Structure 1
Amino acid sequence: MSETVPALIRETFPVGPLQCNCTLIGDPVSKRALVVDPGGNPELIVARLRAHGLTLVAIIHTHAHLDHFLASGELKKATGATLHLHKEDRFLWDNLEMQCQMFGVPYAPVPAPDQWLADDEALSCGCGVALHTPGHTPGSMSFWFPEAKLLIAGDTLFRRGIGRTDLWGGDYATLERSIRERLYRLDEDATVVTGHGPDTRLGDEMRENPFVRA
């Protein structure tokens, strides 16, 4: 008899002043973990990692709008984990103070990313892969965990919605292409973790999303 592989640890909860969805992904065997989009409340994130008995190895970002990385510096300081971002969003990362001023959010400096994410790059745990899905921002990424049928879409795709394209570097045609050609080609039974608000199912968005249908 083959042994049952324990399920990936996944917990998603809203953080920070703009209630960005932060997601913990943990390997149940090695206890190594990723955190996606720590947009605030670093103490809460560290507490949830401890509750699961996980060691954080990497902090990965779907994009570099302030609400998705406000706690990245504090989390790196607390855990020693590396920071990861797509290079095309560096201009946003470097302008965090300006973004904070625009949205009336207190500014806390964040160190430069340790590594640049690449399209189709294997992630450091959970058998995940990084997908470059530009449009909301030039460097927007989605993270796909095929064995768990889990897609972390950031602000590219929402439940019956899509990411806005009226901020720095946004482009509607590029966003639509990313959704159609990258996300809608994945398993339609996948759970989609969005950047804000509730999870959705990929197949439901393919058929019912009023902005982009498969």
Structure 2
Amino acid sequence: MKWQQIPLGTLQTNCYIVENSQRSCLIFDPGSEGKKLIHLLNQRKLTPCAIFLTHAHFDHIGAVNEVRDTYKIPVYIHKKEEKWLSDPALNGSQLFMFQDSIRVSPADHIIKNEGPMEINDFTFSVFHTPGHSPGSVSYYFEKERFVISGDALFQGSIGRTDLPGGNQSQLIKSIHDKLLALPEETYVLSGHGPVTAIGDEMDSNPFLNGF
């Protein structure tokens, strides 16, 4: 199984494609540029199985409808942000995008609990990691040694907490309890910027000093 990072849109939000040996794939956070993403998937002859969202901010959901409609696949999101998809005031597009407010059709599946998840041949765990937003989740692929953290943890930084529902102390707790508890060699696939590793962030992230 392997993954690919695809920065999309003005904010270069990282979309991730996780594929298996049968060339099936999962799509995480298709934030923008749906046609570009679809072209890439078709060019590589990948068959998408589902879309998983780390959270429902506008820069992570902008291409959801286009990609879902193209491949007829389900969308997963945490229950605390299911209403954000269709509400520009909640997903931030009303504030940041003005006339281009984003409204996404309801998700097909609502994530209500943490724990293992299996879809087709993909097996991973879901962690609720709130703080950047109330329904932020991270997806941990233990065997493959990587976690898709959304905007919770970045290389040398953490997610902003000044948007609706943000809470810095809650975010620090989420990172400490859920992410820093993973093996140090675990790769962190963040929502923006380069890939990092749990051990590197434990050693050098200034926001996590003291842990």
Q: TM-score, normalised by structure 2?
A: 0.92
CA distance in 1, matches of 2:32, 2:200: 30
- What count of residue pairs does the alignment treat as equivalent? 206
Secondary structure, aligned partner of 1:75: helix
Q: Equivalent residue of 1:102, what SS?
A: helix
What secondary structure, in the 3-state scheme, does the structure 2 residue paired with 1:176 have?
Answer: helix
Aligned partners of 1:138, 1:123: CA distance in 2, in Å?
24
Deviation at 1:54, TM superposition (A): 1.7
Q: One-letter code of the match for 2:6? A: F
CA shift for structure 1 position 123: 4.1
Tell me, yes or no, if the aligned pair for 1:37 and 1:59 is still in contact at 8 Å. yes
Alignment counterpart, residue 15 of structure 1, candidates 8, 32, 51: 8
Post-superposition Cα deviations, 1:16-75, rounded to whole Å, max 9, x if no partner, equal 22211000011113x221100000111121122223322111100000100000000000
The alpha-carbon deviation at position 186 of structure 1 amounts to 0.7
Q: Secondary structure at the match of 1:205?
A: helix
CA distance in 1, matches of 2:52, 2:118: 9
* Aligned residue number for residue 48 of structure 1: 40
Match status 1:112 vs 2:77: no
Q: Quote how far apart the aligned CAs of 1:210 are.
A: 0.4
Unaligned runs of 5+ in 2: none
Q: CA deviation at 1:170?
A: 0.7
Matched, 1:86 2:81: no
Query: Which residue is 1:5 aligned to?
Result: none
Moved more, 111-120 or 151-160: 111-120
TM (normalized to structure 1)? 0.90
Distance between the aligned counterparts of 1:100 and 1:161, measured in 2? 23
User: Quick check: 1:72–1:110 contact (8 Å CA) kept in 2?
Assistant: yes
> Deviations for 1:55-96, whole angstroms, at most 9, x for unmatched residues?
111100000100000000000111111011001112422313
| 1:135-165 CA distance string (max 9 Å, x none) | 1111100011111111111000000000111
Q: How far apart, CA to CA, are the structure 2 residues paired with 1:9 and 1:45?
A: 17
How large is the RMSD of aligned CA atoms in angstroms?
A: 1.6
Name stretches of at least 5 consecutive residues in structure 1 with no aligned partner: 1-7
